[in-house]
Structure 1
Amino acid sequence: MKIAVIDAQGAGLGQTIIKKIRKEIEKDIYIIALGTNTFATSNMVKAGANVGISGERAISSFCRTNKIDGIIGPIGVMCSGSINGEITPLISKSIFNMECTKYILPLQKHGIYIPGTRNLQIKDIIEEIVFDIKNNLVLIS
């Protein structure tokens, strides 16, 4: 199974997600870190990603030319101009157009409010994502 994790800035969320996947699943999963900058990518690779890809063009190219099972990131990755401008229109469009499961963490930033998510903590959301990936991994095997 191939999973991509996308994050920006220092990739604190991306690191947390990758560490949780590695702890819970360990084998049979290939993780690609998609960082909007080299610092974010480096931090996600240190957290356990198999490979890292940095920058707008590289992320867009990866999204167009690779088949993956899922991509995980904060809701900002779907919104052009978000995360302090690090998510470009090309990145958000490339992620949106991927034919895979998109695990979007509904962070209440950028003036976006998703009803029904107010009582969820990030750790609970990540746990739910990892649970779904485990179930899909069993189905693929």
Structure 2
Amino acid sequence: MLRIAVIDGQGGGIGNLIVKRLREEFKDSVEIIALGTNAAATTAMMKSRANKGATGENAIVWNSGRVDVITGPLSIALPDAMLGEVTPKMASAVVSSKARTILLPLNQEEVEIAGVNKEPLPHLLEDVVARIKEIKHV
């Protein structure tokens, strides 16, 4: 079974939407692990039917090496992002994981990625789902 970590912080709104969409698409054929930088983010993702949830730096670092896919906003890969909630250890764990990492180019960190068109969140979620479908069928 494909194990997907959804990482988010602050209020967990983006993570909540990701978990919801993944659950709609894949039902119970994937395991979704909600990893929040804080308890509010984890709780929001758990309400969308993630299988498991954990909070904080150690949970994100430990689980990043034990999943097949990591997804969330771009900010999860930027040290000190989300008003400092993303620690350097968290960001390092995300970018150094052997998991396929699919990041949504949404952030409030004034970081822009050239060549990426601004798309509404629902369109980005469909791209995440399509990329995970490719992995699931490999």
TM range (shorter): over 0.9
Q: Does 1:24 align with 2:25?
A: yes
Q: Shift of residue 115 of structure 1?
A: 2.2
- Within 5 A, what are the aligned runs for 1:76-115? 76-115=75-114
Percent of residue pairs bearing the same amino acid type: 35
How big is the shift at 1:108?
Answer: 4.9
Please give the alpha-carbon distance, in whole angstroms, between the structure 2 residues aligned to 1:27 and 1:61: 23
> Cα offset for 1:60?
1.5
Q: Distance in 1 between matches of 2:91 and 2:118?
A: 27
Relative to structure 1, the CA distance from residue 119 to residue 40 in structure 2 (aligned partners, 3 Å threshold; closer, same or farther) is closer
Alignment match, 2:59: 58
1:18, 1:48 within 8 Å by CA — same for their partners in 2?
Answer: yes
Equivalent residue letter for 1:70 = V
Instruction: Give the secondary-structure state (helix, strand or coil) at the position aligned to 1:4.
Output: strand
Q: Is the 8 A contact 1:108 1:114 kept in 2?
A: no
Alpha carbons of structure 1 residues 9 and 119: separation in structure 2 relative to 1, 3 Å: closer
Q: Indicate the RMSD between aligned Cα atoms, in angstroms.
A: 1.3
Aligned equivalents of 2:64, 2:112: Cα separation in 1:
27
Q: Is the partner of 1:5 in helix, strand or coil? A: strand
Cα deviation for residue 120 of structure 1 reads 1.7
Letter in 2 for 1:118: N
Kindly tell me the number of residue pairs found equivalent between the two proteins. 137
Q: Is the 8 A contact 1:33 1:41 kept in 2?
A: yes
Corresponding residue for 1:33? 34
Partner residue in 2 for 1:12: 13
8 Å Cα contact 1:36/1:55 also seen in 2: yes
So what's the TM-score if we normalise by structure 2?
A: 0.93
Specify the code of the residue in structure 1 equivalent to 2:137: V
Contact 2:5–2:64 (CA<8 Å) still a contact in 1?
Answer: no
